Amino acid sequence: MSTQYDLIVIGSGPGGYVAAIRASQLGMKTAIVERESLGGICLNWGCIPTKALLRSAEVLHLAKHAKSFGLKIENPSFDLETIVKRSRGIAAQLSGGVKFLMKKNKIDVIEGTARLEKGAPAPKVIVKGKDGKDTPYTAKHVMLATGARARDIPQAGLKADGKLVWTYREAMTPDVMPKRLLVIGSGAIGIEFASFYNELGSEVTVAEVMDRILPVEDAEISGLAEKDFKKQGMNILTGAKVENVKPGKNTVTAEITTKDGKKETKEFDRVILAVGIVGNVENLGLETLGVKVEKTHVVVDGFGRTGVPGLYAIGDLTGPPWLAHKASHEGVMCVEGIHGKNHAEPFDASNIPGCTYSHPQVASVGLTEAAAKAKGYDIKVGRFPFIGNGKAIALGAENGLVKTIFDRKTGELLGAHMIGAEVTELIQGYVIARQGELTEQDLIHTVFPHPTLSETMHEAVLDAEGRVLHV
């Protein structure tokens, strides 16, 4: 195997493997180092397998409501093992797909755990293989794409044990259905699992330390989501602090201090820890190279440059938003920056859509209403409920809202926030609008197909102008 590369990427998640493909397209001799499975967390333990689980939950949900569609399905039920098996199968299929893509693009896959040593023009990459032997590799450029993992807060008694206190990893391969489930943290990961287990019949409690769930979303959307989840039977505690999560023999106890200051110890069968993400910065040799790390994340510029010659970092490792599509995009930007390819654009974090695949789905891009006001914008806000959309009613999905926020002065779409069926598939329309710097007029003049859910997006723009049609 050749050991002289133009680029070595460490980590084969959606950031790393996409960067490697782009580098190969640009004619760079590229290798990728992976310690576990190609595709990283996203494909194996994140985005994709959870979507498979949530799809099972969604189908179950529809089956339960079959009657309202005029269908007869007696006592719909599920087999947990098969649901998990399906999810794992999909992960394996996609990991195999990445392997094929690496081969097709002539990217060398190096199995093992990488660390860096000082070197020029870029740090040297030492890979400890499965056999425990070190092999050195050199490249002109080295990209760190080692990702992130679930955060523990041991000082507050929040630590996963992998048996009764789960992280996302165990939560997506359950062997039994927990009867009583506590989800700590109500970001996208926490809410998706809460939604999945709730649909499958667990008694789900979500504890969020902030005053609302999905705290990064627009407050109005958070409120609607909370209302909907409560209606589905979820117990939601906002402004609640969880401490001393103690696994016992078969159950877990947790101390929960609620909004009104009452402290209670409650018993659960399982607990899912979803209190944030820490970057995988350890054991890479970053200290000896003088790489700047802040709060477990590597500090980089808009092209992923770390300040150490020849060393770059992208994706979750470099900080929020911790999203696969952010990592892929950063990876491509970084490679194009290295290559000096025509029109490399530095990474712009302001236009990264965020999606939560719960039931109902939540999707957003840009500024929330509060953030836009705080930034001093004079704003116009438009809203449109799904109940005014024919397709939504036909789908039996009339719960939902689209909200748009425009700068009154320039017509810029500052932010868009959506909750309801398939909004994760719709949000890209607004992302394109923002990327293309379209104004409210351009969106108004755009023809949206009828009947589709996307018409709600048009109406939400019209509403901002005071000319909504269907409410």
Partner 1 sequence: MAINITMPALSPTMEEGTLAKWLVKEGDTVKSGDIIAEIETDKATMEVEAVDEGKIAKILIAEGTEGVKVNAVIAVLAEEGEDVSDVKAPAAAPSVSRPEPAATSPAPQGRKETAPAAPPNPPSRSGGGGPAPKGDGTEGASAVMERPSGARILASPLAKRIAANKGIDLKAIKGSGPHGRIIRRDVESAKPGAQVASADVAPASPDGLILPQILDDRVYAPDTYELKPLDGMRKTVAKRLTQSFMQVPHFPLNVDITLDNLLTSRAAINNAAREGVKVSVNDLLIKAAALALIDEPDCNASFTDKGIAYHKHANISVAVAVEGGLITPVIFKAEQKGLAEISEEMKDLAARARERKLKPQEYMGGTFSISNLGMFGIKSFASIINPPEGMILSVGAGEKRAVVDEKGNVVVRTVMSVTLTCDHRVIGGAEGAKWLNAFKRYVETPEAMLL
- Active-site positions read 450
Give the Å distances, CA to CA, from 468 to 384, 399, 416, 430, 453: 8, 18, 16, 18, 15
User: With contact defined as beta carbons under 8 Å apart, do 183 and 252 qualify?
Assistant: no
The nearer residue to partner 1, 18 or 414, going by C-beta atoms, is 414
Q: Which is nearer to partner 1, 283 or 410 (CB)?
A: 410
Longest pairwise C-alpha distance within the chain: 69
Residues of this chain that bind partner 1 (CB under 8 A): 301-303, 340, 343-344, 346, 409-412, 436-439, 441-442
Q: Which is nearer to partner 1, 9 or 414 (CB)?
A: 414
121 cis-preceded (ω within 30 degrees of 0): yes
Residue 406 CB, nearest approach to partner 1 (Å): 11
Question: In the bound complex, what is the minimum distance in angstroms from residue 340's beta carbon to partner 1?
Answer: 6
Integer CA distances (angstroms), 76 to 52, 67, 177, 234, in order: 18, 11, 16, 20
Collapsing DSSP to helix, strand or coil, 209 comes out as coil
What CA–CA distances, in Å, run from 88 to 128, 173, 464? 27, 8, 44
What type of residue is 222? S
Q: For residues 262 and 445, which CB has a smaller minimum distance to partner 1 in the complex?
A: 445
Closest distance between partner 1 and the C-beta of residue 376, in Å? 15
Report the run of H or E that residue 395 belongs to, with start and end.
helix 390-395
183: its two tokens: 């989800």
Alpha-carbon gap, residue 350 to 371, rounded angstroms? 12
| Cβ closest to partner 1, residue 234 vs residue 461 | 461
Minimum separation from the CB atom of position 464 to partner 1 (A): 15
CA angle (348 as vertex; 346, 350 as ends), nearest 5: 175
CA dist 322 and 145 (Å) reads 12
Q: What distance in Å separates the CA atoms of residue 286 and residue 124, rounded to the nearest whole number?
A: 12
Residue number, 264 or 301, with CB nearest to partner 1: 301
Angle at 333 between CA 330 and CA 337, to 5 degrees: 135
Q: What is the DSSP letter of 441?
A: H
Going by C-alpha positions, the residue among 39, 104, 22 that lies closest to residue 332 is 22
Q: How far apart are CA 208 and CA 122, in angstroms?
A: 43
Q: Is 465 left (phi over 0), alpha (psi -120 to 50) or beta?
A: alpha
The single-letter DSSP state of residue 108 is E
Q: How far is the CB of 15 from partner 1 (least distance, A)?
A: 20
267 or 345: CB nearest partner 1: 345
Q: Determine the residue type at 412.
A: E
CB of 235 to partner 1, least distance (A): 44
User: How near is the Cβ of 248 to partner 1 at its closest, in Å?
Assistant: 54
The H or E element spanning position 289 is helix 286-289
- Whole-angstrom CA distances from 112 to 32, 133, 135, 317 are 10, 9, 10, 19
Nearer to partner 1, 129 or 346 (CB): 346
CB of 438 to partner 1, least distance (A): 5
